[in-house]
Amino acid sequence: MRVVADPSLQRFDDGRTVAGGSPYRILRLTARGSELLDDWLAGKPVTSGNSLAQRLVRSGVLHPEYDTASLGPADVTVVVPVRGPRPGALLDALEGMRVLVVDDGSPTPISGAAVRHDTARGPGAARNAGWRLADTPLVAFLDADTVPEPGWLDPLLRHFEDPEVAAAAPRVRSRRGDSALERFERTCSPLDLGEQPGPVRAGGRISYVPTAALLVRTETLAELGGFDETLRFGEDVDLVWRLTARHQARYEPAAIVEHAPRPSWPALLKQRYGYGCSAGPLGRRHGENVAPVRLSLWSALAWLLVVLGRPRPALAVTGAAAVLLTRKLGALGIPARESITLAVRGNIGAARLLVESAGRAWAPLAIPPLLLSKRGRLVLACVAARHLTEPRELDPLRHTLARVAEDAAYGCGVLRGALRERSTVALRPVLTDRGGRSSVPVGGGEA
């Protein structure tokens, strides 16, 4: 194994203090550990200090790279759940591999399907029926409307050289097209988690991965009992969170699978609404993992004071947080200037998260009262304007309107799910400075 640095990696005190990752972490190295890290970042393989390397990889400040994989395509069974026409393009791309098609109640039976359900039982049940027939060490789930790019499997297989890794996910990119919807989905698909690799963990930068395309150890699926078939949406998030509570999972964007976008704008909004509805059931199963925003008590207090029109007390709170952070991190060799920068960035990041939540998960509850005041309407303007800074292929107006519409659909789904579950877990923010937790007041980062 070799390792490469995450863009967030920073080193202080002659390299003995390492910071970065998501959530933001600070680790103190021994002199020997610092020397090993120097060697690894210079390109040398990890031949000693494996436990340190793994800890840094788990924290997200380093990413592993393997030259070869001991497992190959013959060790993989691909499960394709289908409800509709035979997925010819996908099956053509998988030629030569062991493929199990599960017909989930298609109106016209699919020839050659390994399993057929007389009625549609949902994607979780279809995937379960497929992987339980597998006799290979690994199972790959690919939805019927996906097509993997050539070479997609190799980068994923290499991650299983680490025995602690139980799942690896490719980047799922929306198929390129000329229509406005296709161009919108190319930059805004919720399945596309970006171009940076990393560990998958609730509360981190990559908090979940979709099972539209996912490679998993078969023994882990058996251990977890597979998908929860009672969930119509969110069954993939539920599986990933149960898996990462016991094992490691990696997101690997070097592997790419293309996904067909929704066929129409109403279908897209219906999909986003369904995703939102899953937050309530997921909250009942996974608690704070579904929180719409995580931020420090310091940042929450500062921005509450701003919204209430008390900027001076807000600045005092921010200043106090910066002072405390400087003292705490100074003992770890982090310069005061860097500590102050962290405090400022943390508060700016907290504002971004609050604005995001106001326009998305909290939209049905937040927007009506915000419309009643001048300050509230200014907040709503910021909520809409945040989309202008995003990568986009549509013109600014159409992009912003589409984003506001999908945010509203998702928020309505979150509220619906919360009401159905009679729980506010999916709506409540998580404050990280509480109950004696060891955290630094930088808008949610923990040390």
Reported as a single tens digit per residue, the pLDDT across 72-85 is 999 999 999 999 99
Peptide bond into 148 cis (omega under 30): no
Burial of 43 (0-12, 13-18, 19+ CB in 10 A): exposed
Condensed to tens digits (0 to 9), the pLDDT of residues 282-322 reads 999 999 999 999 888 888 899 889 888 888 999 998 888 88
Please compute the mean of the pLDDT values over residues 186-214 and round it to a whole number. Answer: 94
SS (H, E, C) the chain: CEEEECCCCEEECCCCEEEECCCCEEEECCHHHHHHHHHHHCCCCCCCCHHHHHHHHHHCCEEEECCCCCCCHHHEEEEEEECCCCCHHHHHHCCCCEEEEEEECCCCCCCCCCEEECCCCCHHHHHHHHHCCCCCCEEEEECCCEEECCCCHHHHHHHHHCCCEEEEEEEEEECCCCCHHHHHHHHHCCCCCCCCCEECCCCCCCCCCCCCEEEEEHHHHHHHCCCCCCCCCCHHHHHHHHHHCCCEEEEEEEEEEEECCCCCHHHHHHHHHHHHHCHHHHHHHHHHHHCCCEECHHHHHHHHHHHCCCHHHHHHHHHHHHHHHHHHHHCCCCCHHHHHHHHHHHHHHHHHHHHHHHHCCCHHHHHHHHCCCHHHHHHHHHHHHHHHHCCCCCCHHHHHHHHHHHHHHHHHHHHHHHHHHCCCCCCCCEECCCCCCCCCCCCCCCC
pLDDT, residue 399, reads 96
Residue 87: which region, alpha, beta or left (left: phi > 0; alpha: psi -120 to 50)? beta
pLDDT, residue 433, reads 62
User: Which residues are CB-contacts of 10 (< 8 A; sequence separation ≥ 6)?
Assistant: 18, 19, 20, 338
Name the residue type at position 352.
R
The token pair that represents 349 in the structure block: 């990041």
pLDDT, residue 441, reads 29
Whether the CB-CB separation of 191 and 242 falls below 8 Å is answered with no
Whether the CB-CB separation of 243 and 167 falls below 8 Å is answered with yes
Which homologous superfamily does the CATH classification assign to the domain defined by 73-261? Spore Coat Polysaccharide Biosynthesis Protein SpsA; Chain A (3.90.550.10)
Whether the CB-CB separation of 237 and 201 falls below 8 Å is answered with no
Of the pLDDT bands very low, low, confident and very high (cuts 50, 70, 90), residue 368 is: very high
Condensed to tens digits (0 to 9), the pLDDT of residues 431-444 reads 876 433 332 322 22
pLDDT, residue 432, reads 79
- What percentage of residues in the chain have a pLDDT greater than 70? 97
How much is the pTM?
Answer: 0.91
pLDDT, residue 311, reads 87
Selected residue with higher pLDDT from 380 and 255: 255
Query: Residue 335: what are its φ and ψ, rounded to 5°?
Result: -60, 155
The token pair that represents 174 in the structure block: 């929306």
Distance CA(342)–CA(9), nearest Å, equals 13
Q: Which part of the chain has CATH 3.90.550.10?
A: 73-261
Please compute the mean of the pLDDT values over residues 179-196 and round it to a whole number. Answer: 95
- What percentage of residues in the chain have a pLDDT greater than 90? 75
Condensed to tens digits (0 to 9), the pLDDT of residues 96-133 reads 999 999 999 999 999 999 999 999 999 999 999 999 99
Selected residue with higher pLDDT from 30 and 376: 30
Closest CA to 224 of 246, 204, 207: 246
Cα→Cα distances 320→15, 110, 362, Å: 28, 65, 29
pLDDT, residue 339, reads 87
Condensed to tens digits (0 to 9), the pLDDT of residues 202-220 reads 988 999 999 999 999 999 9
Distance CA(1)–CA(164), nearest Å, equals 14
